[in-house]
Amino acid sequence: MTEAVADRLLAWYDQNGRHDLPWHHDRNAYRVWVSEIMLQQTQVTTVIPYFQAFMERFPDVEALANAPVDDVLSHWSGLGYYARARNLHRAAKQVMEEHGGKFPADQAQLESLTGIGRSTAAAILAQAFQQKATILDGNVKRVLARYHAVPGWPGKTSVLNRLWECAEQHTPDQRIRDYTQAIMDLGAMVCTRTKPDCPYCPLRADCEANANNEQHLYPGSKPKKTKPEKTTWMVILENKNGEILLERRPSSGIWGGLWSLPELDPAYGPEELQDACEQAFGFDCGQPDLVEGFRHTFSHYHLHIQPARLNVANATRVADNGDQQWIHRDKALTLGLPAPIRTLLNRSQEPT
């Protein structure tokens, strides 16, 4: 009889797994939670410096709950999927207000917190509280889809339910913290999306995908849809004090809650941009200086951004408010900005 999946994974993990990631130290529920949210759709190597900086600024759930959301977003800038940061902030407040500042050691109560789903709640239980709980993140889905040859895209309910059954089947009663890390590590290090290193996999002996040389078929791909193309003007408006105008984006939608540059209807031609700015913001603008445009891809569409710089003569006519502020370029770069906007401000030359 083939040795149990959990036993083989644990033996492999003891010799080959990752034991010294930043969130492995002082492994409490708060640190596990933040790391799990950061690791959603993001590589470990990308997450590490963000996690370290985040922990330095927000060392515990109370510090995070009491921080301004702008501060939280600024420490998330560049990680993408900014709803994760807003949800972290909301959930931290929930933990303080509803649970006395302590994370509940209960699956349902954890799932009631903003942004925490079934797998993340289980990871917190297993990693922080060492309770038996079943995880199913992207790496685990790939391992189990190949091991059991589960066809179809995991985003489909029937496929996902089958993978949950497989995950629960293999979750052991002992060493639950190590097991959850082991199966995640296997997916990240060996059972990778492309070119899996099957000869070094502890599950190769009875992996159905490996037996049929069909690793590339599992997990099934998401049905492809053509992404629409959108275009916008982004204007860098600068006053005589060297300050630029930033606007806070709505809390929902792309870059929700982040500070960004004002946008104008792409239907305006370059020769109409000066008048459009004056009409939209109510002050005198100089002639626009076009900056090299670029294309940014979101999960659902492509956005073509055409930036333009304009000097502003009477900035005092535009008062600061909660969602619109004049701020010096250097200070602006410390705010929560979308990565493309940060890059644009960094590379754009000072107007003459």
Q: Please report, rounded to a whole number, the percentage of residues in the chain having pLDDT higher than 90.
A: 69
Residue 1 pLDDT > 80, yes or no? no
Most confident of 68-77, 145-154, 263-272: 145-154
> Which of the residue ranges 1-15, 33-47, 98-112, 306-320 would you say has the lowest mean pLDDT?
306-320
Q: Is the model more confident about 95 or about 251?
A: 95
Long-range CB contacts for residues 43-52, cutoff 8 Å, separation at least 24: 44/18, 44/188, 46/79, 47/79, 48/21, 48/22, 50/75, 50/76, 50/78, 50/79, 51/22, 51/23, 52/22
Residue 241 pLDDT > 60, yes or no? yes
pLDDT for the residue numbered 116: 97
Name the strand (E) or helix (H) holding 324.
strand 324-328
Residues identified as active-site: 36
pLDDT for the residue numbered 343: 86
Residue 31 pLDDT > 60, yes or no? yes
CA gap 99, 95 in Å, rounded: 5
pLDDT for the residue numbered 176: 97
Q: Please report, rounded to a whole number, the percentage of residues in the chain having pLDDT higher than 70.
A: 96
Hunting for tokens 């792409």 — which residue is that?
266
CA 75 to chain centre: 12
Domains, the chain, ranges and CATH?
A: 5-217 (1.10.340.30), 229-347 (3.90.79.10)
Query: Mean pLDDT over residues 192-220, rounded?
Result: 96
DSSP track, 108-140: HHHHTSTT--HHHHHHHHHHHS--------HHH
Contact 218, 150 (CB under 8 A): yes
What's the mean pLDDT when you consider all of the chain? Answer: 91
Q: Is the pTM of this model over 0.85?
A: no
Residue 348 pLDDT > 70, yes or no? no
Residue 317 pLDDT > 70, yes or no? no
The amino acid that residue 60 corresponds to is D
Residue 262 pLDDT > 60, yes or no? yes
